A and B are shown apart, each in its own frame.
Chain A
Amino acid sequence: MSLGYKMLLRKRGTGLSILAISLLVAIPASMSSVVNYINSQVEILGGLVIPSKTYIIMSKNSTPSESRVNISLEKLRAVSNKIFPQKIIQANLTGFKVRVRGISNMSFLTGIKGRAAENVDEADVGKILVKTLNISTGENITLSAKKALTVRVVGIIESKTQLDAEIVVPLETAWELSGDRSISLILIEDPKDVNKIRSILPDNLELVQAQCIREFVQQTNLQTLSFLNAWSIAVYAAVSAASYTIATRLITESSYELTMLSALGAKKRLIFALILCYTTTVALIGSILGISLGVAGAQIASTLLRWIKNTGISPFLDPLQAFQILLLTLISSVLGCIYPALKPGGRCL
């Protein structure tokens, strides 16, 4: 077996076969290393933005107006002082559907022209809604949801948030309008310990961070990696085809030796194993070379780019990615050589 193996490896075309596999493997290796660098830079840039600490507690997989939150506020107060339970309902205002937000503590509101509503029969209206419905301070408006309620507009909100398109009332008013005393969400600002909040939440509630820069960066990077992985299918298909031709060439060029081995009593299984071992060796050496070549090539190209344009990149490959490339190359190579290796005496073609 080992003699036959050595004999096949010493064939003239082995070097070329290794080169063919290594060049193919260099493609995903170099691409992955460049993508890794880009993704790391995107993550660094994303990390430069410190997201502010506004969190919302609401029902899982829900939206603020559909959410129902049932949790002890005392428990939450131990974690943060700035807790704002809110009730969001849809109401009708002179035939126009408006969103009404009941807030437990109206001091939460900033940027009010006028003042914050203090009583059940007072409301603040967002700037955009004021413009759309021609509402003015001091005006009485009738909101109707489950119940109808007339409130006086005491202030106009300009917060550059969605409050600008809503009517904000004290929580009691929202409860009266909706006819139920539930809470839609709890807004928490600057919590001391986010993990502690998560630990006290029941299973049906979740803690959502309002600003999700890290998630966006991760998603964007994931998209690139997903495409790279899907695109690699084409590379491994080419590796498989290359392996097919390598095995076929080996069988054609070693037909004399293989016939001799058969004549000396070697079984078909042994010849199959020899071809398989040969292809695996070529794929293994080729993939190690290819990974090195790919990463080195990408780094050389980036160095050249740095010299020419003064903007270079530093491609790198994760050990896990290198192992993945190696493994996939070996698998696709073995798959590619099975058909010619199974045909006795290289008569597959």
Chain B
Amino acid sequence: MILGFRYLRFKRILALFIVLSLSSMLFFTTALSLMGFYRGFTYYLGEEKGVIVIYDIKSRTPFTGLVPANLGDNLNITRSPEIIVPCILRNESVFLRGVIPQNFLRIDRIKMEEGEILGNDDLNSAIVGKNLAERLHIRTGDKLLVLGVLADRYVELDVKGIFSSSSPMDDEIIAPLHVGQWLRGADYSYVTLIRIKGEVNQSKILEELGIKPSEEKEEKGLSPSVPSSLPLKAGEIGAKEAYDLMRSYMERYGLTRESLLVLSSTVLLLSSISIAVAFRTVVAQHRDEIEVIRSVGASKRILKADILVKLLPWAAAASLTGLLLAVLTLNLIQRAGFLQVLSHSPPISVDPLIFLLNFLFVLLLMLVSLRGDIN
């Protein structure tokens, strides 16, 4: 402490602490959910490094493209052709992923919570992600009526098991590849994408597919690509690391990690006046004490520095409280089923950078307010 007096009263600081905590909570709620959405989306096709995705360059979303299912068949590597399709199940929108079970399990690790894993001979069966099963009260042995969105189809599936993967797949149904193709209205020789894992790099795959990297041109827009453009030419197929591919889809719509952080910071900026009002209130409540200290010879600079040092732990505690409140609120919202983007629950994880950003902003605001109010 710079001044030895304990003139700041706990009860008076409490109002500032509450405002700081709630403003921080607002910022963290926004930032964590937006970053969770970003993280969930960018890791949608796998978190592991070395997973390369063959995809339709012309598609505007990762769910709407179509590529020939046999691409990369001649490469001696693990490949999983997949078709991702939106559908309706029990009046809820969900995503179904059509896979070849044997191939899919070589790329993704899933844990069966109950029932059995999907086999290659299961024609009308599916396994359901843990979150989706909880949300729609699905159990092993249930029969599901899945209605199409992109095509005029309905499918009845037997639930073979419930799985967990700690990934966005926990909100999906995994079914045989042909089921996805029916619901997509696609031919059996086409899939949404092919995931490849193994000791092979992106350029080699592109080379094998007869595509030069420079040929990759991505179109911008909103409408989904339609199967009428098939069959695809070499220049319409791309190969990218799973993370890079999903990130590029986000970037097409201006959604980068930085832009989402800036958007979250705007929320904090808009609540800054409330923090300033709270700070002004604290100073107004301590006017008598401040005047006494000034009268005994403390300069404005020393007084400001002293108040700042005394309030610093409170600011840190408020940031931390805001973070805890935000995590708690988001978990409650998620459990109630309100935190969903495209039928997937974004993962909520705390980023130290976000905490630091909030703390620095609060500190800056305190400095600015203190300067004005003490003067």
Contacts and interface: CB of A to CB of B under 8 A. Distances in A.
Bound pair (A, B): yes
A6 B175 CA distance: 69
Contacts of A256: none
Given A19-B273, A210-B147, A160 B181 contact: yes
Q: Which of B30, B149, B154, B338 has the most CB of A within 10 A?
A: B154
A231 B11 CA distance: 29
B70 interface: no
B15 A20 contact: no
Nearest to B177: A128
Interface in A52-66: 52, 54, 56, 62-66
Given A162-B155, A211-B151, A252 B329 contact: no
A245 B19 contact: yes
Given A16-B273, A252-B281, A349-B12, A45 B123 contact: no
B343 A223 contact: yes
B274 A249 contact: no
A240 B273 CA distance: 14
B152 A54 contact: yes
Contacts of B93: 215-216, 219-220, 223
Contact of B23 (A209, A227, A238): A238
B148 interface: yes
A134 interface: no
Interface string B12-48: 1011101101110110011001000000000000000
Nearest to A301: B266
B274 A20 contact: yes
B285 A349 contact: yes
Contacts of A51: 152
Contacts of A241: 18-19, 21-23, 274, 278
A17 interface: yes
A216 B338 contact: no
A229 interface: yes
A248 interface: yes
Interface stretch (A21-29, A76-84, A113-121, A147-155): A21-29
**Majority-rule SS of A interface residues:** helix
Contacts of B30: 231, 234
A237 B25 contact: yes
Contacts of A242: 19, 271, 274, 277-278
Contact of B342 (A220, A249, A309): A220
A165 B178 contact: yes
A209 B147 contact: yes
A224 B341 contact: yes
B188 A64 contact: no
Given A160-B181, A160-B185, A212-B147, A234 B338 contact: no
Interface string B272-292: 111011101100110000000
A253 interface: yes
Contacts of B273: 16, 19-20, 23
Contacts of B155: 162
Q: Size range of the interface on B?
A: 35 or more
A65 B14 CA distance: 63
Contacts of B178: 128, 164-165
Nearest to A225: B338
Contacts of A349: 9, 11-12, 14-15, 285
A215 to B, nearest CB: 5
A219 B285 CA distance: 51
B277 A246 contact: yes
Interface residues of A, number: 70
Nearest to B181: A160
A65 B274 contact: no
A161 B123 contact: no
Interface string A143-171: 00000000000000000111011100000
B17 to A, nearest CB: 10
A301 B281 CA distance: 33
A235 interface: yes
A209 B91 CA distance: 12
B147 A245 contact: no
B351 interface: no
A135 B152 CA distance: 28
Contacts of A66: 143
A248 B156 contact: no
A245 B281 contact: yes
Contact of B88 (A20, A88, A216): A216
Q: Which of B12, B22, B91, B254 has the most CB of A within 10 A?
A: B22
A222 to B, nearest CB: 9
A45 B220 CA distance: 15
A132 B121 contact: yes
Interface in B223-282: 223, 254, 267, 270-274, 276-278, 280-281
A315 B210 CA distance: 44
Nearest to B332: A230
Contacts of A128: 123, 178
B145 A63 contact: yes
Given A52-B152, A160-B182, A27 B270 contact: yes
Q: Which of B87, B277, B333 has the most CB of A within 10 A?
A: B277
Given A24-B270, A65-B143, A245-B19, 15 more contacts: A16-B277, A45-B222, A54-B152, A56-B154, A132-B123, A160-B188, A162-B156, A208-B154, A211-B151, A223-B93, A224-B341, A226-B338, A230-B336, A234-B30, A238-B271
